[in-house]
Structure 1
Amino acid sequence: MLLKAKLAFAKFDVPAVTEGVKVVDSSGTELDDDVFEEIVKDPSTGVLTIKYYTESVSKVASPELSQSSSLDSSDSQDTVIISDSPSRKRQRLDTEAKQEHYYDGESGTGYLAWRIKTIQRSTAKARRALFGASAKGPSGKDISGGPTVRRESQYVPETALSEDQYKEVLSLMKHSADEGTVQKKMELTFVYCRNLVLDSLKSSNILSDFPRFKDVKGLVEQDFVLMFGEGVSGKLLERWPTIFKNKIVQQCRNLPSTSELEELLMAADPPKDGTEVDFDFGWDSDLSSVLLLLHLIPPTAQGRKRPGKVSASQTEKHLVVFKKTGTNIQEHLDAITTSTQPCVLAVGVKKNAIHQFFIILDKNAIPCRATSSLGAFDELFKAHFVFGTSYNTMLHNMYMFIQTTVYNIDVGKVKESPRVAEVRARLLH
């Protein structure tokens, strides 16, 4: 006896029959063994019919309905009626439509109408796959935005290059000693670069295909501007000192006191009464105010760890790392044992006297054009979008605040934690 028939008899308490048995859906299509068990467990499954030929049969209703029994000496079929799911209904309607005449103008049915609907469904699925849009609607907002999704860029090339032309430009760019030429060629290959970044099979080689990111400053900023425009690109440097910095400091003064928090508050907002303070222990004012966000918006715990297990000070190293002047950068890169999301490497005589910043990505050092800590953080955030890299799990909530509240990127398209929404309400109202 067929496996699906055995499962059907056991599931719905139908008397077992060993020969001449098949299970079909509402469209008359026989179900395969490998899909029957999964389908029958689905509460939204449509009509399933057990057909067999025997002298004695019993008609059994679904568990949700009353059961009755009768004898019949002819062909019999036991029907299990649960409910008509959208997918089953669509399949049934598609089958019926294909069997109708070409087109009925009064009812709007027929093969032509069925074919148009089929094309529309296929086109919608392809569009969602191409642009990374969520098929879940409001409940799936977290995958319809952020640094890893495909999006329409502000930059539109005047002419489309062929594959051979791209290769020619890439070759010229790799060997050019003129930074202006490199920047122009990077703009020409922007679309090509974006396609590589968003290709999961090729994205890991992006710095090999575009090595000039590692020696020409400003290319991260340039690509971000091509994606979002100058207005969006300048929001953090424009708004942080005037809107967010002081308010974040004030909000953090209301948090439970810790030594790390007090040090950051002292560095972010030094006394204005002329009191001398030794700042050798901490970062400068701007970066300290950014790090205060890790206290205001607690780090996201990983795995089974509870939020309290991950402190803001422990998470800091995933955002910025300090090395003294004279450190061999290559030795530092070689010592990295795991591939992580981007972070800032700050090199200087002390934390509040940095003379060079790098973005560390996949054991590569990308020099920052910025000479200030806030500018370096600005480039760090943008690097996620330029290289299509997801946020560090523990820093996710903080980055989401920066993305939606400071840069106003993908507002309403991504899922935010209640804490992010709460902090935004406090700072902007």
Structure 2
Amino acid sequence: MVTPSEPPKCPTRLDLCIHDIFLCVLTVLALLGTVIFCLLHPQRPEILLSPDGATWQAAHWSKHDAKSPPSSNNTTQVIISLTQVTAELTRGEELSLNFLLLQEWSDPRLIVRDGENGPTVQNIEAIKGNGAPIGIWKPSLGLAPTHVADKSTEETWLSKDGRVFRSQPLTFIVSPYRSTSEYFINIFTTREFSTGAVALTWDSLDGRNPLSFKNSTLGIAPIVRGEGLQNSRLLYTTGHCEMTYRATSLKRSCLQVRFKLEKIPTLYPSKDLVLYFLSGIIFCLVPSSFLVIYFVVTLAVKVSEVKMTKLVRVCNLARGKKLIISSGDYEQFLRSVKTKFQVETDNDIILEDDHGAEVDEEVFPILLDQGIIPAITFKIVGEDAASDGSYTPQCQQIYYINSPAPISPQSPATPASPQGEDYFKQALESYIERKPDLKELVSNCNAERLVDSAAATKLINDFVSVLIDLRGDLPSTSDQLRFAKAIIEIIPCWKYPDSIDGIDILYDTVNRSGLIQTRLRWIHRNVKEKNPLKSLKRPVASGAGAPISNKQDGHVQIAADDIAIAELNSSLPEDEVRRLMIQTLEHRNYLRGTNENSVLRVYRKFLECGFLINFEFQLMFPANAAKFLDTWETLREQILTNCKRISKSTALHKFINDNAGNWDRSTGALLALLYLIPPTAHGRGKGARCKIEDAESRLVKYFKSGTPLQSILDTWDSDISQPTLVYLGDDKTNPSTFFIICDKLALPLNASNSTEAIDSLFKAHYVIGTKYDQNLDGLWKFMQIHVFQLDIQNTTLPRKAKQVLQQLSSLSESN
């Protein structure tokens, strides 16, 4: 019989409670033991040797107090020294000092543990704590007077035994103390001044010197040099000073170094020593002194003869021209002329300069001493004037015009002669006939009714050489004027349309920038480099091309209507704004005329209303307000069609081929016109000429739609202060929003397209009362004269702008 086994007994509830209580007690005891252990053995920040033994690393560094000195009970001693000291006198008696400020102290918290191996000194930047450089306490020092610190090269080094070394490059400009030759620098603590936890001492331990110079030799103090001053030796002393903490009147010790400049006396040899030395030289050199004197005198004579020898250009219309060497002897020169030109020795000759004045024996040597010797014409006494050439101003070249008989040029003194006006034309036609390539170039220009830039350069170089052959290196203004008229008769398409005689491109009576004048100046400049002469320059009439040309002297001051201006700058409907703008127009004209104050600063409504630029210009110039919109479309197409014919500039052709299509047609034409009238040199002291690409950015800038206007103003180039057009849109060919930025102020425009925006951009110069950007001066003056027709009589149009105007006019007539 099988007896069933009994099931195991289940634990009672009491047994389970005892078991759980026992586990909880054990857990609490373990946690309590851990806390007690941590309290008895707290984790402290320390620096340990890295596993690779090559560097150091920090542990628990978050517990390090980098704001407190190493010891809270004892005073921390910081040892100070100055090294690599250099000095220089600047701005009179001020002393410029450069040196390294070295500091050394001990910090027991930084002693490296287990540091038998590895480096003995480590840069603090190389010690890592949790992946980043550690921070340690450093003394906070102040120096008087104020100094400049180069923190980028400051270094801090840590030694294994806890010593810290710190170097700081400093620069001082120190004034002398109470008008003496002494200077001082004080070094003191700042953060720990009131507590006295830090004390500064000079590094004089073991006989070390607390100050060392960079360029000293054998311990001698360096020499300090100053511009225009006597050299001095720099001496110094180090010591202590006392400073008072203002808050508590607490006094603490500080370090002081005093410098003193000791002038170095100039040593001169004594009188007896000089006499002894000279007597010795004389005694030794007596046998050869006479020989030396002989050679010196002979050399001086030879040099004088060479210096007096000059080349003189002599001419006679019947006998040609020759160069003759002369030393200033008048009679010898006459004999040389007769020999060179094969004139009978019994014949008497008379010399004349290039203006027909007789040159006699008394004047001839003085004439040779001039920097540029004029050409000498000679006449044979008794010969017929028609056969010997008589007098002709600079008989440089003989021209034969449809006849083998020579033409006798007419003197400027007799302009009423039948040959007076036609002489230059005949000479030019004869010259062109003898130059097939030049004849073809003139024929092509007249056929195409256009003289482009390359053709203008070639023609003016050749033509001016003819003028110089006829009238010498310094032709008179009347000769240049008549010569320019002769060129216009030969090449009629070169005539400038906006003047009576049409010679402004060739000869500019106001601005002296004609092609003939420019070429002559270039020739004279090259001549002056070899024969410098003091030249007198007449003042050039300054063109009033700036829009503030309405500025007048002695104008009546117009007081501001403060009530009207305040009302105008408030929120108003458009019709009220227009009424108040008309009411205050005279005051704005006064501001524009005197430049007393900026219109934009007083009348802030220009920064809010997009219609005000055009409305103000309409009030100022009612007859000229619509001229741009009426003529620009035709002018735009002329520029885009003919610009590549007008100029062979590589930059222009690259812009037309690659970039013009990126803009809408009006903006493309405006930029093409800028390439035709590029920035020019401004003259000495007036700023450099900018590149054509930079000039583009001064004219118009494009930004993507959605670009914040404030970000545009914040990043605006401060050098661009004149009105500049700003486009916003999806691309350059279809701008949707327009602004004008002037002096970093944004003026909105109610323009529906770029043509209206460009119209407002020009008008803004007059409305604001500002001058043209000097790099865009030629472009805007072209617009002012040719398009808006403003202030024509008082504005000097640059030559390049005149050329473009003449070329466009000629091409439009031919079409």
With structure 2 as the length reference, what TM-score do the two structures score?
0.31
Task: Find the partner of 1:236 among 623, 628, 650.
Answer: 628
Task: Find the partner of 1:148 among 532, 545, 548.
Answer: 548
More strand by proportion, 1 or 2? 2
* Superposition deviation, residue 267 in structure 1: 7.3
More helix by proportion, 1 or 2? 1
Structure 1: stretches of 5+ with no match in the other structure: 1-136, 153-161, 269-278
* Superposition deviation, residue 373 in structure 1: 0.8
CA contact (8 A) 2:723 2:742 kept: yes
Task: Find the partner of 1:248 among 623, 639, 648.
Answer: 639
CA contact (8 A) 2:618 2:625 kept: yes
* Superposition deviation, residue 144 in structure 1: 4.0
CA contact (8 A) 1:294 1:398 kept: yes
- 2:727 aligned with 1:335: no
* Superposition deviation, residue 151 in structure 1: 6.2
CA contact (8 A) 1:343 1:380 kept: yes
CA contact (8 A) 2:671 2:696 kept: yes
Query: In percent, how many aligned pairs have the same letter?
Result: 30
CA contact (8 A) 1:251 1:296 kept: no
Q: 1:187 to 1:348 in 2, by over 3 A?
A: same
CA–CA distance in structure 1, aligned partners of residues 546 and 809 of structure 2: 22
Partner of 2:663: 283
Task: Find the partner of 1:402 among 783, 802, 807.
Answer: 783
CA contact (8 A) 2:551 2:592 kept: no
Task: Find the partner of 2:736 among 335, 355, 367.
Answer: 355
Q: 1:261 to 1:369 in 2, by over 3 A?
A: farther
Instruction: State the Cα deviation string for residues 135-177 of structure 1 (Å, max 9, x = none).
Output: xx9566534453012269xxxxxxxxx957x222112111133
* Superposition deviation, residue 180 in structure 1: 1.8
**Cα RMSD for the two superposed structures:** 3.0
CA contact (8 A) 2:682 2:689 kept: no
Structure with the bigger RCO (C-alpha within 8 Å, sep 6+) is: 1
CA–CA distance in structure 2, aligned partners of residues 309 and 172 of structure 1: 44
Q: 1:315 to 1:338 in 2, by over 3 A?
A: closer
Task: Find the partner of 1:225 among 618, 624, 644.
Answer: 618
Q: 1:263 to 1:215 in 2, by over 3 A?
A: same
Partner of 1:300: 680
- 2:568 aligned with 1:188: no
CA contact (8 A) 1:267 1:285 kept: no
Partner of 2:209: none
CA contact (8 A) 1:343 1:360 kept: yes
CA–CA distance in structure 2, aligned partners of residues 333 and 308 of structure 1: 25
Partner of 2:195: none
CA–CA distance in structure 1, aligned partners of residues 606 and 692 of structure 2: 31
- Structure 1 segments (4+ residues) deviating >3 Å: 137-146, 257-268, 301-305, 307-311
Partner of 2:697: 317
CA contact (8 A) 1:265 1:288 kept: no
Match runs of 1:153-164 below 5 Å: 163=559
CA–CA distance in structure 1, aligned partners of residues 664 and 653 of structure 2: 14
2:698 counterpart letter in structure 1: H
SS at match of 1:299: coil
- 2:793 aligned with 1:412: yes
Partner of 2:602: 209
SS at match of 1:253: helix
Partner of 1:131: none
CA–CA distance in structure 2, aligned partners of residues 384 and 370 of structure 1: 17
Task: Give the number of aligned pairs.
Answer: 268
SS at match of 1:149: helix
SS at match of 1:410: coil
2:696 counterpart letter in structure 1: E
* Superposition deviation, residue 428 in structure 1: 2.3
Partner of 2:765: 384
Partner of 1:200: 595
Q: 1:411 to 1:259 in 2, by over 3 A?
A: closer
Partner of 1:365: 746
CA–CA distance in structure 2, aligned partners of residues 328 and 144 of structure 1: 38
* Superposition deviation, residue 425 in structure 1: 1.4
CA–CA distance in structure 1, aligned partners of residues 733 and 681 of structure 2: 29
SS at match of 2:797: coil
